[in-house]
Amino acid sequence: MFLLNRGSIGLDIGSSYIKTVKLKEVKGSYELELFDVHPLPPELIVDGSIIDSLRLADALKEMIRNVKVSTKDAVISIAGHSSVIIKRISLPEMTEEELSESIKFEAEQYVPFDIEDVNLDFQIIGPKEEPGQMDVILVAVKKDIINEYISVVKEAGLNPIIVDIDSFALENMYGINYEDEPGRNVALLNIGASTINLSILKGGISVFTRDSSLGSNLHTEALQREFNVTHENAERLKRGEAVENVSPEDALSVIEAASDEILSEIIRSFDYYRSATLHEDISEVILSGGCALLQNFPGLISERSGIETRIAEPFRNIRIPKKFDLAYIQEMGSMMAVAVGLALRKQGDR
Ligand SMILES: Nc1ncnc2c1ncn2[C@@H]1O[C@H](COP(=O)(O)OP(=O)(O)OP(=O)(O)O)[C@@H](O)[C@H]1O
Ligand SMILES: [Mg+2]
C-alpha cells in the first residue's frame, strides 16, 4: 500500500543551500510533510556547474540522514544562464505528436549549442493572432549539466525522476498560491546566491523568462572585502547580526551599495520586457530566494523599479501541521519557492 503514490521530494540544490520540501495531497489541497534547509560550503557549485561532486553528494547524504526522507524519488531543477535556453517561438500550427517528431529540426536555429548536446522539451502555449501559427515555449538544456546533477543525486542514494527548470518551478509555486487576473503582468523574481531567475506571467501564463548569473554572493563578497571578515561572518552580517567590530548599520550601507548591480540587471530586464511588449505594465513583483530576506532589499526593488514588491509566500495555500515551527517556516518561506514548485510535480508530468 505504501508503495503507491508516495509522492516525491522537491530538491532545490542551490549553490549555497539545499532546500527540500515534500507535500502530501489531501482532498485536493496540500499539506506540508517535509521542510529542510541545509547549508552548503561555498564553491561546490559555481555558475550552475558542480565543481566538487563528492562533497555535494556527501552534503546530500547528510541532509537525507537528518530529515529521514520517506521516499527516494526526487524532483530536481537546473537554472538558466549558461546551460539552459528557454525561448518563446512561433511555429506553424501542428499537434503535440507532430511537434515531438520535428522539434529537433525546429529548434536548431534557436539553440546556440550542437543540437546533439542538448535535451529538448517544449510546451504549446496556444494559437497566435496570425492564422496558422502557434506559440511554443522551447526548452533546451545541455546534457552534460543534466548528467552532472543526476549522477550526484543518484550517488546520494536518491532517484531523480524529473529534472525541472527553476523558473517553471516558480510558476507552479505561484499557481497554487495566487489568483490570476486576465491581462495582468506579474514578475516572479527569485534571487539566490549566484542566480537571478525572472519569469513574467501574463494572466497566469508565462510570457518571458530570463536567468542571470548574479546574486547575493555580491553582498557577501563586498562585506568580506570591506571589513576583512570570513565568509561565515559576512553571512551573519547579512542576517543583521553584529560581527567582530562591525555593526549591522555599517554592514547595511555596504549591502545597499552592492545591491546596485543586481538592481540594474533587474531594471534592464523589466525595460526589455516593456519595450518588447509595447509598454505593457508590470503590476507586481513577487520576490523569492534568500536575497528577499536581506533587510531593505524588497524596498530597494520597489523604489528602483516603481513596482510594488511583495515577498513570496510559497506556503500560503499549504496546510502546515502542528509538528512544524510555523514562524520559522514563514520566515524562511521565500527561500523555498523553487523547492515548493518542484514538490508539486508528479511523475509523468512533462
Ligand atoms: N536571513 C537571511 N538574511 C539575508 N540573506 C540571507 C538570509 N538567509 C539566506 N540569505 C542569503 O541568501 C542566499 C541564499 O539564497 P538561496 O537559498 O535562494 O540561494 P541558492 O538557491 O543556494 O543559490 P543559487 O540558486 O543562486 O545557486 C545566500 O547568499 C545567503 O547569504
Ligand atoms: Mg536557488
For the segment 303-344, what is each residue's pLDDT rounded down to a tens digit? Answer: 999 999 999 999 999 999 999 999 999 999 999 999 999 999
Binding site membership of 335 for ligand 1 (Cβ less than 6 Å): yes
Domain of 92 in residue numbering reads as: 84-138
Give me the CATH number covering residue 223.
3.30.420.40
Q: Are residue 19 and residue 34 in the same domain, yes or no? A: yes
Q: Are residue 6 and residue 57 in the same domain, yes or no? A: yes
For the segment 98-134, what is each residue's pLDDT rounded down to a tens digit? Answer: 999 999 999 999 998 899 999 999 988 877 777 889 9
Nearest CA to ligand 1 atom 5: 294
Binding site membership of 167 for ligand 1 (Cβ less than 6 Å): no
pLDDT band at 2 (very low <50, low <70, confident <90, very high): very low
Q: Are residue 188 and residue 125 in the same domain, yes or no? A: no
Q: Are residue 67 and residue 105 in the same domain, yes or no? A: no
Stretch 266-280: mean pLDDT: 91
For the segment 179-200, what is each residue's pLDDT rounded down to a tens digit? Answer: 988 889 999 999 999 999 999 9
Stretch 161-165: mean pLDDT: 93
CA 6–ligand 2 middle distance (angstroms): 25
Q: Are residue 158 and residue 266 in the same domain, yes or no? A: no
pLDDT band at 349 (very low <50, low <70, confident <90, very high): low
Q: Are residue 189 and residue 174 in the same domain, yes or no? A: no
Stretch 29-46: mean pLDDT: 94
Binding site membership of 333 for ligand 1 (Cβ less than 6 Å): no
Nearest CA to ligand 1 atom 9: 290
Which residue is associated with the grid cell 557549485? 45
Q: Are residue 238 and residue 250 in the same domain, yes or no? A: yes
Q: What integer pLDDT is reported at residue 1 of this predicted model?
A: 36
Q: Domains in the chain: how many in total?
A: 3
Q: Are residue 174 and residue 185 in the same domain, yes or no? A: no
Give me the CATH number covering residue 88.
3.30.1490.300
Q: Are residue 277 and residue 225 in the same domain, yes or no? A: yes
Give pTM, 2 decimals: 0.93
Tell whether the model's pLDDT for residue 301 goes beyond 90: yes
| Closest listed ligand to the CA of 19 | 1
CA 348–ligand 1 middle distance (angstroms): 31
Q: What integer pLDDT is reported at residue 131 of this predicted model?
A: 83
Q: What integer pLDDT is reported at residue 346 of this predicted model?
A: 80
Tell whether the model's pLDDT for residue 80 goes beyond 70: no
Nearest CA to ligand 1 atom 6: 290
For the segment 16-31, what is each residue's pLDDT rounded down to a tens digit? Answer: 999 999 999 988 899 9
CA 349–ligand 1 middle distance (angstroms): 29
Q: Are residue 51 and residue 169 in the same domain, yes or no? A: yes
Q: Are residue 234 and residue 261 in the same domain, yes or no? A: yes
Nearest CA to ligand 1 atom 10: 290
Q: What integer pLDDT is reported at residue 348 of this predicted model?
A: 61
CA 43–ligand 2 middle distance (angstroms): 14
Q: Are residue 55 and residue 94 in the same domain, yes or no? A: no
